[in-house]
Amino acid sequence: MNPAAAPSLERWTIAALLSLLLAMLPAVAAVALLSMAHLQLPHAPLWTLGLSLVLGLLACPWLARRLPSDWDGAARAHPGLSALWLLLALAAIARTAGVALFMVDAQQAQASAYWFDEFYVRHNCFSGMWKAASLAAQGVENVYDPEHYTGMEGRFKLDDFLYLPQFLILPRAGLALGADFLPLRALWFALEGALLAFGVFALARWIGGAAGRRLALLLPVLWLSTPVLLTLQLGNFQIAAIAMSLLAMMLFWRQRPVLGGALLGFAVFKLFPGLLGLYLLAARRWREAAWTIAFAALYSLIALAWLGWAPYQAFFDFQAPRILSNESWAFLWLDGLEPVVAINDSVPGLVLKLDLLGVPGMTPAAEKAVSWVWTLAVFALAILSARRAPRMSRLELVGAWLALLALAAYRSPFVPDHNGLFAPIWLWALIAAGARLSPRNLLLLAMGWLALTAVLPFGGLPMPELIGRLTLSTLSQFVALGLCLWVLLRQPRGEAPPRPLPTSATPTLAMG
């Protein structure tokens, strides 16, 4: 990187597009904060777009001077790939602008990620956390009772609250500021998006070299994918949990255990990132594991002091038994929910898919058995990966952490495809960053991106019958699983020997 050199046209172009893409996040946050302060802006979507443009223009010169000079001349060296990147970046900006408008004005559903699908237009995962925080503030004893979540909040169907009580710290802070659901929904979108972008750039910088630079350049391609945009729109904590977990592991490897523990100590309340605790123990990272446990305990005490004992008692007496018995997901076995089963990326959910195909013996008991077998398999992979960690490059380490998070998330009885494909599409970006630019690899990467971005809508578009939906969804699920297992089971190649790299050089990590 040579900040002193005058930026080339390539760097100005990349800086302008990245600045405009990411400037939408603080613009949405600013409009949401004004709404929280009860300063209603007329034509909020126009304010959002205008503020995004201003912030993007202000950030562009600063970013252009700091982009790597290796990108100078890229348009001449790789004209086809450069043109493709330009088109994908513009598409990412356009789609993000639509979601941003929907965030600041829930009536702008025609601009959302899946504007044609009534389910996704009316669904918001954050609504369950917001409702539970509201109930806790009112002193309701059982915030997990599904009866509390049967109504609507504006145009959005309330989602059930299925998280641990500690999660209520976040929406409860918003409620303490006097915020309503809609501005908190917009602010949550901006915070998760910022956390994802920061995670990609921070990891790219830590990875370094040509692979790190490519990973940063692939942000618009990752961002454009439906699992990213749709999950950001829906407000599921999946994005934040994975980004926080990866940043925490990077900080552990940079000998910053306190900050890493602060991040992972909260992410583990999503449950599946807890697998990284086993990874730390297997890697003999005792200090890092201790800080994670300490911060998890601290957050638990904060939630207890702020919310009282009632949410915890409701969790242990009511919700935990429903989770352990799979009662929370018993609805998946009901008649009429076959389309939901079809888009379930969970590994135990394969039992339900086989049941739809008429395979005998596919029962809830079989589903539970598969859950525990898969749990043991993922534990074994975590231990294996931890033992191999000293022989891994930074790129391989991040890939292993991300693959483990994805496989751990698949243990849940229900993982809708937009959640289930998020970690694999980020893993795809890591693999693409380290791949040689051969025609074969480019074709494989393009096919992989298409498979991993295939979130099936529930309606609004002509879709195949149930078996066709089941086939398409399971295909993308197997691509995701195969990618994760390949990353974890291949032999580590370690760091490349240090040597100067020409502009056209490729990283040592190849596709095959």
DSSP annotation string for 146-186: GGGGSSEETTEEPPP--S-GGGGHHHHHHHHTT--HHHHHH
Confidence grade of residue 4 (pLDDT, cut at 50, 70, 90): very low
Cα angle at 379 between 350 and 264, to 5 degrees? 105
Confidence grade of residue 512 (pLDDT, cut at 50, 70, 90): very low
Name, of 3-7, 70-74, 115-119, the range with top average pLDDT: 115-119
State pTM to two decimals.
Answer: 0.92
Work out the average pLDDT over 260-285.
Answer: 97
Place of tokens 């076959």: 338
Q: Is the pLDDT assigned to residue 80 strictly greater than 60?
A: yes
What is the residue extent of each domain of the chain?
113-493+508-512
Longest dimension (CA), the chain: 68
Confidence grade of residue 5 (pLDDT, cut at 50, 70, 90): low
Contact 143, 135 (CB under 8 A): yes
Short-list 160, 488, 480, CA closest to 350: 480
Place of tokens 């915020």: 179
pLDDT at residue 6, rounded to an integer:
83
Please spell the DSSP secondary structure of 345-381, one letter per residue: --STHHHHHHHHTT-TT--HHHHHHHHHHHHHHHHHH
Q: Is the pLDDT assigned to residue 498 strictly greater than 70?
A: no
Work out the average pLDDT over 145-172.
Answer: 92
Short-list 217, 236, 199, 204, CA closest to 92: 217
73-82, 334-343, 452-461, 497-506, range with the lowest pLDDT: 497-506
Place of tokens 């001349």: 73
pLDDT at residue 34, rounded to an integer:
85
Work out the average pLDDT over 18-36.
Answer: 92
Torsion of CA 39, 45, 51, 56, to 10 degrees: 150
Confidence grade of residue 487 (pLDDT, cut at 50, 70, 90): very high
Place of tokens 């352990």: 324
Report the distance separating Cα 512 and Cα 359, nearest Å. Answer: 36
Contact 215, 203 (CB under 8 A): yes
Portion of the chain with pLDDT greater than 70, in percent: 96
Work out the average pLDDT over 301-320.
Answer: 94
Our separate counts of H helices and E strands in the chain read: 25, 2
Work out the average pLDDT over 47-57.
Answer: 89
Report the distance separating Cα 298 and Cα 197, nearest Å. Answer: 27
CB atoms within 10 A of CB 108: 17
Report the distance separating Cα 410 and Cα 346, nearest Å. Answer: 5
Q: Is the pLDDT assigned to residue 9 strictly greater than 60?
A: yes
Q: Is the pLDDT assigned to residue 500 strictly greater than 70?
A: no
Confidence grade of residue 293 (pLDDT, cut at 50, 70, 90): very high
Q: Is 415 exposed, middle or buried (0-12, 13-18, 19+ CB in 10 A)?
A: buried
Q: Is the pLDDT assigned to residue 40 strictly greater than 80?
A: no
The single-letter code of the amino acid at 356 is L
Report the distance separating Cα 38 and Cα 46, nearest Å. Answer: 18
Confidence grade of residue 495 (pLDDT, cut at 50, 70, 90): low
- Tell me what the pLDDT averaged over the chain comes to: 91
> Exposed e or buried b for every residue in 259-270, given b needs 16+ CB within 10 A?
ebbbbbbbbbbb
Integer-rounded Cα radius of gyration of the chain: 23
Q: Is the pLDDT assigned to residue 335 strictly greater than 90?
A: no
Work out the average pLDDT over 287-303.
Answer: 97
Report the distance separating Cα 459 and Cα 468, nearest Å. Answer: 14
pLDDT at residue 499, rounded to an integer:
39
The single-letter code of the amino acid at 35 is S
Report the distance separating Cα 432 and Cα 19, nearest Å. Answer: 23
Short-list 97, 131, 126, CA closest to 112: 97
Give the tens place of pLDDT for each residue, 469-485.
Answer: 899 999 999 999 999 99
Give the tens place of pLDDT for each residue, 97-113.
Answer: 999 999 999 999 999 99
Confidence grade of residue 432 (pLDDT, cut at 50, 70, 90): very high
Report the distance separating Cα 247 and Cα 264, nearest Å. Answer: 8
Report the distance separating Cα 512 and Cα 507, nearest Å. Answer: 13
